[in-house]
Each structure stands twice: as C-alpha cells, then as structure tokens.
Structure 1
Amino acid sequence: MSNRGRKVVIAGAGPGGLAAAILLAKSGVDVTVVEKRAVVGGRTSTIEQQGYKFDTGPTFFLYPRVLREIFAAAGRDLDTEVPMTRLDPQYKLVFGAGGELEATPNVEKMEQAVAAISPADAMRLHAFFSDNRRKLERFIPFLESPFESWRDLAKVRMLKMLPLLRPWRCLDSDLRSYFQDERIRLGFSFQSKYLGMSPFTCPSLFSILSFLEYEHGVFHPTGGCGAVSKAMARVAEDLGVKFLMEEAVEQLIFEGRRAVGLRTAKGSLAADAIVVNADFAEAMKRMVPNHLRRRWTDERIARKRFSCSTFMLYLGLEGRYDNIAHHTIYLARDYQQNLRDIERDHRLSEDPSFYVQNASVTDETLAPKGHSTLYMLLPVTHEHKNVNWAKEEERFRALALRQLEKIGITDVEQRIRFEKRLTPVSWGNDFGLYKGATFSMAHNLKQMLHLRPHNRFEDVDGVYLVGGGTHPGSGLPVIFESARITSRLLLEDMRVEPQWEPAGSLTGAPAYEAVS
C-alpha cells in the first residue's frame, strides 16, 4: 500500500532535516521541506561570492559512514555524489606554550611526532587508541537508539558501561591516565569544542571524538561541506521531496496538543507530522506557544546551559599560502584562562585560540586561479551583556588578523579581496541561534541522552526533532544519526515500515585511502 497520503512537513533544510527527508521519502511518505533561507544546509551551507566559496560552519567532515548508509538507502553512492579527500596530516596544532604537532592517522609517524614533545606520552598512544576503540564500540548502540526516559539508563547494559565511561571524570582528567604533557592532552581534547565545551568540564566519554579522527579519518568534500548538503537536497528531490525556499516558519498549528500543520508568511501547510530541524531553544520560543510546553517552557530553557559561540572571518585572498596546512589550530598559551573567558567570565581574550582552514591547498575549486580562501574561527562567549559586539567587532577583527602571524600567515590585510564576518549577534539574527550559541545546548551530564529534548518531542503530539539540539547531539555524524532515530520513531507512530536497512556499526573500517 502506498504511503503517499501521509504528509510530513520538515521545518528547516539543515543536514538533519535533509537526511530525514531522504529517509521518509524513501519510505513512501509525502515530504515537504520549508526553509527560510535561499540555500539548503543551514550552517552546513556554502557562502559564494566573487568566485570564492566558503563553508559557513562545519569544515571537518568526520566519519562519512552514517551518511554513506543514508545515501545507500536511497540507491545512491555518497562517494560518487560527493568526492572526498582523506587528509594526511589531518591538521596541524600550534601551541602558544611552545611546540607544534602534525596530527597524522599514521600511528608510527604520530608516535614520533608526540615523542618530539613528550617521549613518555608517545609510549601511551597505543593504550589510548585501544581503550577508546573499545569505548566507542560499547557506546555506539546508545548513539543509535532513542532515549525517552530515565528507565533507558537503568538498563543493565548501561550500568555495566559505567567503569568504562567514567562519567565522574572530565575529559582532561581522563586523558591524564595516558598523557603527562598538557599540550598532548590538549591535542586529544580540543575536539570538545566541536560540542562547544571545555575539556575541563566536558564528560570523559568524548575522548571518542579524537579517536574517531585517527581511526576513521578527517575528510574534505570537494567544494566543501556545503557540497554535501547540496547533494542531499538533489537526492531528496529525486525521491519526490518538495522544497519551499525563502519561506520562514512562523508557528506550528495545533488542535489541542497535537500539531496539524505550520504557518508561514505565505500561507499554511497541513501535516500528519512535523519535523523541526531548527535551533531547538529559538524554535520552541517562536513556533510553539509556551502554555503548550510542559517540560521545555521558556523559563526552563533560559536556565539551561548553552555552548559557546564563534567569531568568524571568511577571507577571499589574492595569492596562496601553500606552506600552511589545510587545517591549523592554535591553542592559546593560557588555554584554561581562554576557556574561562568564554564560559565563565563572558569576555574576550587578548590571546584567543583559533582555527584556520586553508582549503585551497587541497581544493582548487574554492577560489579563482591564483587566489585562495581563508576561513578563521575564534571561539567566543555566546551573547552576553559583558560583550557589546557593535563596539568590539572591529577591534576583535584586528586582533584576529594579528593572531594569524602565530601560525605563519602574514600580509593578509593587503591581500583581502572579499571579506565576510559573523559574530554571536549575527548567528542569532541570521541563523536563529538562541544566544548565538553555535553548538546549541551544552553536552554536560545534565543535558545528555534522555535529558536532552527527545527526538519524539515530549511536550506536544505530532512533533519530532532532528539536529544538534536533540539526542545524540552536535556534530554532523550524530546529527545524521538523529535523523535516522527520529525518522524511525515517526514512521513507527504512522505504522509505516522504514524502507532502509538498520543502522550500521560506526566501528567499521574506513572506506577511503589517505592522501597527502
């Protein structure tokens, strides 16, 4: 029997919404995606100006296997649709406290690189990889399953994992079991910033983030991560998904406590179910009346802990920096103080850590011939009364450009032919992020698993969530996984059989060969 009579509307064409659209359409559901912007991808979109192309947000493409399986469900091959290069070195770390580290998936070379900084720590590298391989294998089923109540935590299999996960430790404390040198620990914990958190407060579970990079690779999709979003939209359209672009959702329409459609400035759409792929906190405040929300009221949302934000520079340059790595991370001399400035004191550091993508050394499609792109990201506090960006933006931009000299990039100002900036205020105004928090709600122990907003939204009927604000959390691989979890729950409620294979293991061998 056809399921085309079943109508689902997805609010937002970010990566989670696009993945859900593919899975639901493949299962025979009538899907419409409503997107306020002119391009798909949300923060995983492309900025295209004057022949330059930049990823808006994510630039590290990690663990393609989840998306590869979603493409396969639609009868497509991800590797054909979006050619990718596995990077080696994955990135270069420059320590403000002294020293550099080229991170490579070649374990022997990585041992040598670590030994150049701390010989004793190099001897513990195998133990770190081995322990985290086991941790990931044991935890993956929980990343692939919905968590809808505390009872899910009481399962025997979860309790048996506590000695392995060590939830009583923060990430930095856990890494002390392996590495003595603070710089090496930072090299395996800065990834907590993918969640918008500090390694000194982030749960120890997330040591699996750096392990994933070494075990399964860091990739660059040709054209950038935004090219992945465009490919997903193509696949969705081929499956019959309709896209309504430049049409912002104003509110959901309810009959009692059940959502029956949504309203935009151009009209209304009826639906049997609605998938919200937007910043959770901001979407709830805008789309769902407060009196209908029993658990996630405006008042409770305001009490939650939110991630940091970012200050962004997108620079189109005349000339190239071929001696600079594809990805470079500078870690401030006083990294802990930099994090306190961001998370506790809500002020701008004078020696901020930063990340630079110099993707033109890998991908010549991103800039006109003889030109290149630089993408610069500086973690900063989310919107707070302590920082007035109308006054601080120019000063902080100048500081950011000076910081580039610390990784060997000079003479930038005179080469700039195109420039775009984003501040926490921009993230809020342009992308609808609550407090401009680019990684949504923080991933502390009080805001994980069943304590995050549920994939089958618990406050009203007929509403489902995908994206970084729900389980499993932030980061492209887990956002794609959130789409699988949510799509299964939605189809289960509609009594429709999913037309794709069960989630595969995240521990399978990588499919790409590394290239220099």
Structure 2
Amino acid sequence: MTKQTRRTVIVGAGPGGLAAAILLAKSGVQVTVVEKRGDVGGRTSTIRQDGFRFDVGPTFFLYPRVLKEIFAAAGYDLEREVPMTRLDPQYRLVFGDGGELLATPNLEQMVKAIAAISPEDARRFHEFMTHNRGKLEKFMPFLQAPFESWRDLMKPDMLKLVPLLAPWRSLDSDLQMHFKDERIRLGFSFQSKYLGMSPFRCPSLFSILSFLEYEHGVFHPTGGCGAVTQAMARIATELGVEILLDEPVEKVLIERGTAVGIKTASRTLQADAVVVNADFAEAMKKLVPNSDRRKWTDERVAKKRFSCSTFMMYLGIDGRYDDVSHHTIFLAKNYRQNLRDIESLHRLSEDPSFYVQNACVTDPTLAPEGKSTLYVLLPVTHDAGMIDWSIEGPKYRKLALQQMEKIGITDVERRIRTEKIMTPEGWASEFDLYKGATFSMAHSLDQMLHLRPHNRFEDVRGMYLVGGGTHPGSGLPVIFESARITSRLLLEDLKMEPQWSTSAGTKPMVSQDELIGATS
C-alpha cells in the first residue's frame, strides 16, 4: 500500500515560512505557501523602484550558520547561492554626546577603538566576549527547543542557567559589569532595537546579540537581504513547494478545534497542518475567529506589550557618499528620553536616534551607474492613536534629512531621484502588522519562552506558528531557528521523521571551534 502524502499549507512567504517550507518539503511533505503580496520575503523582501533596489526591513545579516545548515539540509550551499561580504568595519557609531566608534571584528583593533573613548572599558572588552561566549554556549540548546509549559523552565539544566542569565537584570545593568562609559554600553546594547526594545528594559540575556556580531561577523548579501529570501523561494520551488502569490488568506478552516486548511477568495486548500508565518496578533484577528481561541483572544492580545515601529525613507540618489560607512548608527544625546518618547509617551522626539545604510559603498549593484541608495530608519512609537502621520510625516521627513547631516550626509535632498516613505500606518496597511509594530510583541520576560505564542499553537490543533511572533523571537537567525523548531514539532505530530541532520540536543548551533575565538 502506498503511504499517503501529507500536505501542509503555510500562510506567508516570509523568511520563517520559506525556511519551514524547505525543511518540510525535504522531509517528504507536500507544501503550498500562500502569500498575499506579489513577491516573497515579507519584511525581508526588496523594493524595486526606478532602477534602485532597497531592503524593506532587515539590512544586517547576522550569524549565517543557521541558514547555512538549512540550505545544506536541502542539498545547497548558502555561500554559493547567496554571495556575502563580511563587513569591516561592521558599522560606525556616532554618539550625540560626543565621540565615535568604528566597530570592527578585529578584536585588537576594537580594543583600541574603545580605548579612544574609555581606556578603562577597553581593558574589559575581552572579559565581555568571554562571558557572553559562555552564556551563548549554555543557553543555545534552549533557543533550539520548544517551550510549551512553565515545566520547561523547571528542567535542571535551565535552573542552572539562572545565575548566568540573571533575569532580574536589564541589558544595560548587565553591561555595567563590563563597561562604565554609557556610550560604550550603548554601543553594545543598541542591538536590542532588533527586538524593538529599550536596553534599559530588555532582558540581560540579549547581550549575546552584540557578542554574535564580533564573534561571527556582520554580513551584506549581494543584492541585499531580499536576495536571501529570493534564493530560499527558488530552492523551495526546486524541492516541489508550490508558492501562490497575490493570494491573501481569508481564514483558517477549523473543524472541531482542528485546522484543516485555509480559504482565499479564489480557492480552498485542505491540509493536514497549517503553519502561520504572518504577524501573530494581526493574523489571529483576521484568520481565526475569536471564539476558536481560548488563550490568545483578541482581548488578551490587546493587553500585550508591542515593540516600537519605524519611520522609513528609501532614497535613490545621484552620486555616492564614499566617506560614509555601509552602516551608521546615530545615538541621540538624550538617548533615554528618546526611548521614553517611543515606549511610554508615544510621541515623536525632537532629536531622534537614527540609522542609515549606505549599501552601495559595498554593493553597487543596488543602483544604476553613478547613483546609490540610502536606507534611513528612525525608531518611533507603534500606533497608539497619538500621531497623525498625514500631518507629522512630512515634518519628520524634514527632520530626518537634518539629522543625517550629523553623520556627514549633507545636501542630500537635491540629489534624490526616487523616494519611498513608510510610517507605522504603512507597516500596518501594507504588511498587516498589528499597531504597525515592526518587531511584533516585545521581548520582555513575561512575553518570552513559554509565555510567547507557542510554535505548536495552543488554541488550535494542527496549527503551527513560525517567525518573530513565536519562540524564540525576532531577528533573522532566531526566526530561522523557529522554523526548525516548528518543522520538527509538525513532523512529530504527523509521525514523520525530519530529513535533516541538525536537531536540538544532537548538533549544537555553535560548535566548540567557533566558540573559541572565531574572529576572522
């Protein structure tokens, strides 16, 4: 008798959904990915406008090992499929309070760079690296495993981690053990913005983010991060995955508490399992009736804390700013007030922090000859009903152009040849992000691990979650890890074996050799 083929439908062609599609297809599942937009990638896609290309969202590609393993599981080589450049310097930090720091993966050069601002802190840099190397090594197995109950926290190995992870400390408090100068601490904690959180509220665990940059590098994929999801979609298709574009899902079909497929305007797709790779809060509201959700009701979701949003400017310009780094982060003089404006007061700052990607100094393929791209990001509040962007948007654009002068980008407005603006309202309408929060639910202690929506969704049998809204959380490497967790759980429930070698407890995401000083 021929074994029945199992079918899975994945809602959303973001990086997590595409990674899950690859892993499930490799394991013998018939996979259909249904995407509302006309292109794959979600927030990790590409804007093409007047001959220019811009990443929509992520521009830092960190720790490629997870995706490299997923590609290898499918029989592909990530480095061959998506050429990448390791950046040095990784980025330039400009402090509104005075001083600059060129962050480099050359650790001895980094010590000298820190010493130019704070000699005392420079002496503690290697101590910081050693501490976080151990933290990552010990916590990594838990980032690779599902958390479905508080009982998972009570495992002996997890309890042993409590002193090391120090959950009672914020990221900034943790960094005070290593660095006294607040500017240096900001240089090792601004990465909490990848999670949409303030370093003064973000859990201390996330000091591993900056550690990963120095240990394993910051990369630029040729063509931008959108080129990564394009390659993933191609590989998925070659493995037999069907990808349907321009096809918004209207609802998940649920029978007696079990997901049995999805419905779009033009078709109904039956499935043995449904994976949702859309913004969790917004997807629940639109795709799953409130009456079918016992735990994650609309009322409960509305009470959760959500990340910041971003005000974006995608600029195609004449010429190039060759003396401006690939990545530049400006940290406002009153950084704490800037964060309060975003997180608590829900208002716009007069002197905001910002980030600029000047990618054409590394990758001229992103613009026509003689031109270049500027990607400008200002963290702002999510939509709390306090800001009318139709009024404030033009004002904030003007302020952003003025702020850019502080990092050496002057006289830019007359050079603009194409432009796109994205506000929290745009993130909500174009990408279906709840409240326009670009990093989903905040990563506070009460919204992590088993307290985050589970990879095997609690409220609907046969339904699974992948992406930044579920465990382990936001950021591309972590989202790829969520795909592995979710795919393992789904295959387990279908009584199928994963056809890839890496799994929690068998092969660590970070090898011992890599942990001991892989810095070149």
Is 1:418 aligned with 2:421?
no
Counterpart in the other structure of 2:346: 346
Counterpart in the other structure of 1:33: 33
Counterpart secondary structure, 2:42: coil
- Measured on the aligned residues, the alpha-carbon RMSD in Å equals 1.4
CA distance in 1, matches of 2:365, 2:519: 20
Q: 1:380-425: per-residue Cα shift (whole Å, max 9, x none)?
A: 0000221111110000000001000000000110000000010000
CA distance in 2, matches of 1:172, 1:35: 39
Counterpart in the other structure of 1:209: 209
- 1:320/1:370 contact within 8 Å kept: yes
Shift of 1:3: 6.3
Counterpart in the other structure of 1:505: 508
Amino acid at match of 1:369: E
Shift of 1:206: 0.3
Is 1:255 aligned with 2:255?
yes
CA distance in 2, matches of 1:119, 1:419: 43
Counterpart in the other structure of 2:466: 466
Shift of 1:51: 1.1
CA distance in 1, matches of 2:203, 2:171: 5
CA distance in 2, matches of 1:414, 1:514: 41
- 1:3/1:28 contact within 8 Å kept: no
Q: 1:284-317: per-residue Cα shift (whole Å, max 9, x none)?
A: 0000000110100000000000000000000000
Counterpart secondary structure, 1:374: strand
Counterpart in the other structure of 1:156: 156
CA distance in 1, matches of 2:142, 2:362: 35
Amino acid at match of 2:212: L
Shift of 1:505: 2.5
Counterpart in the other structure of 1:238: 238
Shift of 1:243: 0.8
Shift of 1:514: 8.6
Shift of 1:49: 1.1
Shift of 1:37: 0.4
Counterpart secondary structure, 1:160: helix
Counterpart in the other structure of 1:93: 93
Counterpart in the other structure of 1:317: 317
Is 1:79 aligned with 2:79?
yes
- 2:316/2:372 contact within 8 Å kept: yes
Counterpart in the other structure of 2:179: 179
Counterpart in the other structure of 1:192: 192
Q: 1:222-256: per-residue Cα shift (whole Å, max 9, x none)?
A: 00000000000010000000011000001011111
Q: 1:96-117: per-residue Cα shift (whole Å, max 9, x none)?
A: 0000000001111000000000
Shift of 1:364: 1.1
Counterpart in the other structure of 1:441: 441
CA distance in 1, matches of 2:385, 2:227: 37
Kindly tell me: are residues 401 and 27 of structure 1, through their superposed partners in 2, closer, same or farther at Cα, counting changes over 3 Å? same
CA distance in 1, matches of 2:44, 2:243: 17
Shift of 1:2: 7.2
Counterpart in the other structure of 2:284: 284
Counterpart secondary structure, 2:261: strand
Counterpart in the other structure of 2:387: 387
Q: 1:310-331: per-residue Cα shift (whole Å, max 9, x none)?
A: 0000000010000000000000
CA distance in 1, matches of 2:227, 2:430: 21
Q: 1:105-140: per-residue Cα shift (whole Å, max 9, x none)?
A: 111100000000000000000110000000000000
Kindly tell me: are residues 3 and 101 of structure 1, through their superposed partners in 2, closer, same or farther at Cα, counting changes over 3 Å? farther
Amino acid at match of 1:401: L
CA distance in 2, matches of 1:466, 1:106: 35
Counterpart in the other structure of 1:454: 454
Q: How does 1:470-489 map to 2 (within 5 A)?
A: 470-489=470-489
Segments of structure 2 that go 5 or more residues without pairing to the other structure are: none
Shift of 1:5: 1.6
Counterpart in the other structure of 1:328: 328
Counterpart in the other structure of 1:304: 304
Counterpart in the other structure of 1:404: 404
Amino acid at match of 2:166: R
CA distance in 2, matches of 1:386, 1:297: 25
- 2:106/2:519 contact within 8 Å kept: no
TM-score when normalising by structure 1: 0.98
Shift of 1:152: 0.3
Counterpart secondary structure, 1:488: helix
Q: Identity of paired residues, percent?
A: 72
CA distance in 2, matches of 1:426, 1:457: 28
Shift of 1:267: 1.7
Counterpart secondary structure, 1:43: helix
Residue correspondences, number: 515
Shift of 1:507: 2.4
- 1:308/1:343 contact within 8 Å kept: yes
Shift of 1:50: 1.2
CA distance in 1, matches of 2:13, 2:481: 16
- 2:456/2:463 contact within 8 Å kept: yes
Amino acid at match of 1:39: D
Counterpart secondary structure, 1:153: helix
Amino acid at match of 1:190: F
CA distance in 2, matches of 1:33, 1:453: 21
Instruction: Report runs of 4+ in structure 1 exceeding 3 Å deviation.
Output: 1-4, 508-511
Q: 1:347-395: per-residue Cα shift (whole Å, max 9, x none)?
A: 0000000000000000011001110000000000000221111110000
CA distance in 2, matches of 1:263, 1:257: 16
CA distance in 2, matches of 1:452, 1:46: 29
Counterpart in the other structure of 1:107: 107
Kindly tell me: are residues 514 and 376 of structure 1, through their superposed partners in 2, closer, same or farther at Cα, counting changes over 3 Å? farther
